[in-house]
Amino acid sequence: MGSGIGASVLRVEDQRFITGTGTYTDDIQRPGQSHAYIVRATTAHGIIKKVDVSHALSAPGVIAAYNGADLQADKIGILPCGWMTMNIDGTPMFSPTMPVVAHDRVRYVGEPIAVVIAESVHQAKDAAELIEIEIDDLPAVASIERAIAPGAPIVWDGAKGNVGFHWHIGAEAPVTAAFARAAHIAKMDLVNSRIICNSMEPRAVCAEFDVGKGEFTLYLSSQNPHVQRILLATASLGFPEHKIRVISPDVGGGFGIKAMHYHEEVIACWAARKLGRPVRWTSERSEAFISDRHGRDHQTHVELALDKDAKFIGLRVSTHANMGGYYSTFGPAIPTFFYATLLSGTYPIPAIYCDVTGVLTNTVPVDAYRGAGRPEATYVIERIVDRAADDLGMDPAELRRRNLIPVDAFPYKTPMGSEYDSGQYELALDKALALSDYKGFEARRAEAKTRGKLRGIGLSSYIEACGAAPSKIVMANGGGSGMFESATVRVNPTGGVIVMTGTHSHGQGHETTFAQVVSDKLSIPMEQIEIVHGDTARTPFGLGTNGSRSLALGGTAIIKALDKIIAKGKKITSHVLEAAEADIIFENGRFSVVGTDKGLAFGELAFTAHAPARFPTDEIEPGLEETAFFDPVNFTFPAGVHVCELEIDPDTGTTDIVAYSVVDDFGNIVNPMIVDGQVHGGTVQGIGQALLENCVYDEDSAQLLSGSLMDYCLPRADDVPNFKLDYIVTPSPHNALGVKGCGEAGAIAATPAVMNAVVDALQPAGVQDISMPATPLKIWNALQAAKAAA
Partner 1 sequence: MGIAVAMVVNGRNVTAEVDERTLLVEFLRRDLRLTGTHVGCDTSQCGACVVHVDGRAIKSCTMLAVQAAGSAVTTIEGLGSGTQLHAVQEAFRNCHGLQCGYCTPGMIMTAVELLKRNPNPSEHQIREGLEGNICRCTGYHNIVKAIASAAKVLQATAAA
- Site of interaction with partner 1 (CB under 8 A): 10-11, 13-24, 26-27, 29, 122, 198-202, 250-253, 255, 282, 284-286, 506-509, 673-674, 676-677, 680-685, 708-710, 714-718, 720, 722-723, 746
For the CA atoms of 656, 661, 666, 668, the dihedral, rounded to the nearest 10 degrees, stands at: 130
Closest approach, Cβ 447 to partner 1, in A, equals 20
Chain centroid, CA 192 distance in Å: 16
Instruction: Please identify, using beta-carbon distances, which residue of 287 and 355 lies nearer to partner 1.
Output: 287
Instruction: Please identify, using beta-carbon distances, which residue of 13 and 649 lies nearer to partner 1.
Output: 13
Closest approach, Cβ 642 to partner 1, in A, equals 13
Instruction: Please identify, using beta-carbon distances, which residue of 40 and 400 lies nearer to partner 1.
Output: 40
Closest approach, Cβ 510 to partner 1, in A, equals 11
Chain centroid, CA 173 distance in Å: 34
Closest approach, Cβ 746 to partner 1, in A, equals 8
Instruction: Please identify, using beta-carbon distances, which residue of 14 and 189 lies nearer to partner 1.
Output: 14
DSSP 682-713: HHHHHHIIIII----B-TTT--BSS-STTTS-
Instruction: Please identify, using beta-carbon distances, which residue of 14 and 699 lies nearer to partner 1.
Output: 14
Question: What SS3 class is residue 127?
Answer: helix
- Which of 321, 325, 361 is closest to 337 using CA atoms? 321
Q: Would you say 205 and 265 are in contact if contact means Cβ atoms under 8 Å apart? A: yes
Please name every residue paired with 533 in a beta bridge, in sequence order, or none if there are none: none
Q: How far is the C-alpha of 289 from the C-alpha of 295, rounded, in Å?
A: 12
Q: How far is the C-alpha of 210 from the C-alpha of 783, rounded, in Å?
A: 64
Instruction: Please identify, using beta-carbon distances, which residue of 326 and 712 lies nearer to partner 1.
Output: 712
Closest approach, Cβ 200 to partner 1, in A, equals 4
Instruction: Please identify, using beta-carbon distances, which residue of 99 and 746 lies nearer to partner 1.
Output: 746
Q: How far is the C-alpha of 671 from the C-alpha of 681, rounded, in Å?
A: 16
Closest approach, Cβ 121 to partner 1, in A, equals 9
E-strand stretches of 138-220: 163-169, 184-195, 204-210, 215-220
Closest approach, Cβ 251 to partner 1, in A, equals 7
Instruction: Kindly calculate the radius of gyration of the chain based on its CA atoms and give it in whole angstroms.
Output: 27
Q: How far is the C-alpha of 297 from the C-alpha of 287, rounded, in Å?
A: 20
- Cα torsion 779, 783, 789, 790: sign: positive
Helices (H) and strands (E) in the chain, counts: 21, 28
Strands 312-324 and 352-360: parallel
Closest approach, Cβ 694 to partner 1, in A, equals 15
Closest approach, Cβ 33 to partner 1, in A, equals 11
DSSP 591-620: EEETTSS-EEEHHHHHHHHHSTTSS-TTTS
Do you find a cis peptide bond into 632, omega within 30 degrees of 0? no
User: Across the beta sheet with 105-106, what order do the strands follow?
Assistant: 105-106, 46-52, 132-137
**What Å distances lie between residue 27 and 19, 68, 287, 761, CA to CA?**
14, 29, 19, 47
Closest approach, Cβ 411 to partner 1, in A, equals 33
Instruction: Please identify, using beta-carbon distances, which residue of 67 and 545 lies nearer to partner 1.
Output: 545
Closest approach, Cβ 673 to partner 1, in A, equals 5
